[in-house]
Structure 1
């Protein structure tokens, strides 16, 4: 057995060599301790290396799991750079991408509490050298940026605010997608190989995450597109169903109602709501005047077009198409001053013979009307046409019915009134005759005879007025125009009324200009007109009241200016003589339009209690119309004014007077 084996087995040495053996033992112990320490340090280093490798693997696995579980690229990037910064104890970790303008944008960033964020933009650009390096898949390792003297690097470093930089490219299908960069900002840092390897492995995981995210986005896009198509088709079917129901309601309304205003207003509203547009309106045409009037409207605009009249000439090209029966949509080049830029769909409303109106649908300028929209508007326009035609036929029928009812009522009223008017004088005559038979007093007999004569005259006057009125209405009353010199003829007509006014303390003023042209008219008719008007003026004027008659002449006048009823409507100019009879008597405004009705008497307006047949003004109106003239009445400021306009007739135009 040798000495080493003895030492190993723990045998003791002999006493003779104790000193030398002690020294040897101490040296052996020292050597053993140093070896043990070295082995222990190596083991600790190995354990540390293995632990760091384990932590790196755990980090990579954690990132890989995050990539597998999530499709949110932004979330993956944020988690990854945050984990890397904590693991490497770096000041900043970020992912950079080059924008289209070559500026470098920060896609994701994680910074320590003491470092400012770069706010998504970097004050600099990737140099061509750096870009080529990234495209080749090479990592950028900068341990001490201060040692680099390049001006471009100084600008780039200033923008990143870093001392050291480790950047690894992220490749996607062989193309550069971006860069994963780690910065040390406080002091330079010497990057270890395992740190570089870790970053390279993590960029692989990020590339996988980017690929998954893009696939997910593509699938999502396809799903969204498919859902959009399904939704669009569903909306089309739903819209078609709503359109069909709307058209059915409109058709039912047209069939069940004859109120065209109610039908069209409800139709316009329903059309606007079902089409979800800003406004809708319907207009009716006056083809003679070449105008379009907006009669029905439903709108969400602040301004309204209802009641507005548009001339065809103001938009000739548009109305030319509508009058041809064409339906079209357009945007005006010039913005509407009230509605701005809008798109409009115009559709004509066609009758069997012509275009009677149009239907407009208005919406925002970015809208386009589909074929389904246009088809619905055409169908609604057709229903509007049916409603208008139906309402017009009904109105015509109702007008005929009302005319017949009115004629029948007029006949009944006329017979009732005539019976009453004829019976009243007869009753007075009968009473006067009875009193004459029963009294012998001469004075009373004279009074009863006077009543008898007055009632006989009244009865005769009433019958004559009725006969004249009948002839005028039947157009069997003939006039014979002849020249009448008013300066010679009118004083004879006025003479009895001057005496009558004087006896009643009334003031009759006559304004008859000298050298008036002769009036070409029927003498008998003109005399009756003036006499009746002056008689009424005296009758309804109180004592001390004033009466005035004024005569005017207008040469070459336009017939429409005087509302003349010329037999020849082609006459453009004619001489007109105007008679204005006015008296101080206030007639209520509601009574003025009824002054020319048969048997109508203004209540409580006869201070002299003269009475009358109630046919005077009705007869005068007919006579004036027979002479192709016009008569009008008005009352204001305590005066009643009747104005008669008579045109110059052709001599013997209607033959002789019957």
Structure 2
């Protein structure tokens, strides 16, 4: 009851209806709210699309370093967003003309991709404003106040409305981003312009990345080229080193000057792939030059040509060569020697050693390409090796000439000695016979029976000296016969154990009288020997006589015989004397005496050991001398059996 009474006053208020004015005002407010909400939704949609577009382009830039791919993606996204007929990126050249490097068009009819566009009024009207960042928005080219040249250009491109934004790179006008509407006029919204301004940042980043990537690519390319170049240089250097070693080995293997130089020019010409290589040698006073050796493939051959340096059209080159300087130059047809070598790249290196310039090494190449550093160094090294080899070859030739001359003089000496020996043999035989007859006559008169008489002493001197001269003559004649090698060997077989003591027997009394000790050493199973008995006896006699002569009192002389393999070895040693090592190789020379052994005190002719060596070699053996610890040892090796019967007489 209480509740019903309280609600009764409210019924009229609830049942009251709004007036028409109130309803109209409410509808207007609702419509305004709806419009604002739609505008907000549109702005949100546009913002979402802008963010999506910006994010899409930015993401693509991050994923690609290809500038043109990025720009093509940008113009395609912008065209679809603005719903225009064409969007292009226009890049300037140095003359402010430019070309379309990226395009997105709604149809082929609107495509201008790849065209080079010349805007005659751009540089004067638009270059500076765009440089400052100006944006151009033309809604209708027929209404806007623009230059006729600009309108004509846009009409030629089917443009009715366009929107242009500059692309700046490092504060420089790089190009333009242009949106073309071709089907009719177009109003460009502010937010569209703002969007494109925001889109300028990703292309700038893309350009910067692309430029940086291009620089890196160029740097990598240069590095790769440098690596390849360095690798090629190293490979070439190794090839040149091998070539130099091959040339050096070949020129050192020969002492023939012509062969040395010809080998060098051939190997160098083939190794450097030149058309010609030659060596020119100077005369003694370096006034003339001769092309001594040459290798050529296509050019004329001038080998053997001689010319005066003063008459050469390029004497300065020879002046530099004589100073040891390598030259590169271009040959001309004025040079008679180079008549067939005009306009060639040429190089000349001096052939020089420590004694001066011998000549020069010349190389010719039929191109205008200079010789590089490696080729110059190789040519200089080859020239140095040739100079050394030529000097050695000339020294060798000089030495050979001296050897030939010495051999000639030696033959003359031997011939003279042989002739004199033959000429003296007859009178000395007569003198010896006369002395014998004189001795008989004087003894019959009892003139020389007393040994202390002066006549007896003089007569003994006469006998001794005449016999010494006869022995000298006999030795010279024996040497001459051995050198002539005309007498056959009289081979016989002997028992060495019986024969050697028989040969040594005459020296036993001599050694005892000189207070020397003579020792013979032979094994029990010593085999027989087939040899020339007279020659072997002469060998042992000379060696024993020599030992007795130089061994002091109290010294020991030992003669040993033993078999080693297929050879008989005879050794004769004597103590108390030593020969210097530098004299051992000369003691077998004719007339040579060891200075330290006082040769004039012992006498002799100096032919004994020379004759022994000849006799040993005639028997097919060898002899050597050793000296140390105050003793001298002679070792003779003879073959046990004689196999060469062409010049022997068997007895």
TM bin (shorter chain): 0.3 to 0.5
TM-score of the two chains, using structure 1 as the length reference: 0.47
Whichever of the two has the greater Rg, that structure is 2
